[in-house]
Amino acid sequence: MAMEQTFIMIKPDGVQRGLIGEVIGRFEKKGFYLKAMKLVNVEKSFAEKHYADLSSKPFFGGLVEYIVSGPVVAMVWEGKQVVSTGRKIVGATNPLAAEPGTIRGDFAVDIGRNVIHGSDSVENARKEIALWFPEGIAEWRSNQHPWIYE
Ligand code: DAT
Ligand code: MG
């Protein structure tokens, strides 16, 4: 199967709570490759664009306020089935429903402070990567590749 890319973002609460290394470590140790990363404060209009599909939801305003409340860490991760597997590593949207062992299950309580974002489909990953990394992403492959992939 071809390699995929996904967009993962550590939200302001994850940054403030010192969970950057924890999140990166989980994706890195799994065998996925970090292809782009930056710590940024985003504008309200940018957050609204990222969450455009949710603009009719009652929680949209609060969600946008939360995302702009501090810096976020935006990343692109690459690997086999990284989109769906990344969602499993992230865990269910509501942290109280998220399984222990997932990031949200291990590190969060409230749905509005759920630490991390992960693309929900290959198509949305492509759109999110284009939105967050218009400058493009790195081209590299780990020397460990043959020890992780058959
Ligand atoms: P996910 O982040 O798991 O893909 P989503 O795309 O449905 O979930 O929603 C985006 C974010 O919006 C989610 O991480 C937290 C917030 N959110 C979702 N549903 C919510 C709700 N019912 N009340 C408050 N915030 C919610
Ligand atoms: Mg989503």
The answer to whether the beta carbons of residues 133 and 77 sit under 8 Å apart is: no
pLDDT at 19: 99
Q: Which residues contact 123 (CB under 8 A, 6 or more apart)?
A: none
Q: pTM higher than 0.95, yes or no?
A: yes
pLDDT at 2: 84
Cβ(120) – ligand 1 distance below 6 Å? yes
Q: Which residues contact 49 (CB under 8 A, 6 or more apart)?
A: 131
Q: Where are the beta strands (DSSP E) in the chain?
A: 3-10, 33-40, 72-80, 116-118
Q: Which residue has the tokens 């749905």?
A: 111
The candidate with the shortest Cα–Cα distance to 96, out of 105, 87, 88, is: 105
pLDDT at 1: 57
Give the full edge-to-edge strand order of the sheet including 3-10.
33-40, 72-80, 3-10, 116-118
Pocket mutation for ligand 1, best pick of 10, 72, 104, 111 (most atoms within 8 Å of C-beta): 111
| ipTM exceeds 0.95, yes or no | yes
Ligand 2 mean position, distance from CA 121 (Å): 9
pLDDT at 70: 98
SS3 78: strand
Which ligand has an atom closest to residue 55 CA?
A: 1
Pocket mutation for ligand 1, best pick of 93, 115, 123, 128 (most atoms within 8 Å of C-beta): 93
The catalytic site residues sit at: 117
Per-residue pLDDT tens for 61-91? 999 999 999 999 999 999 999 999 999 999 9
pLDDT in tens, the chain (150 residues): 589 999 999 999 999 999 999 999 999 999 999 999 999 999 999 999 999 999 999 999 999 999 999 999 999 999 999 999 999 999 999 999 999 999 999 999 999 999 999 999 999 999 999 999 999 999 998 999 999 999
Cβ(93) – ligand 1 distance below 6 Å? yes
Report d(CA 76, CA 33) in Å as an integer.
8
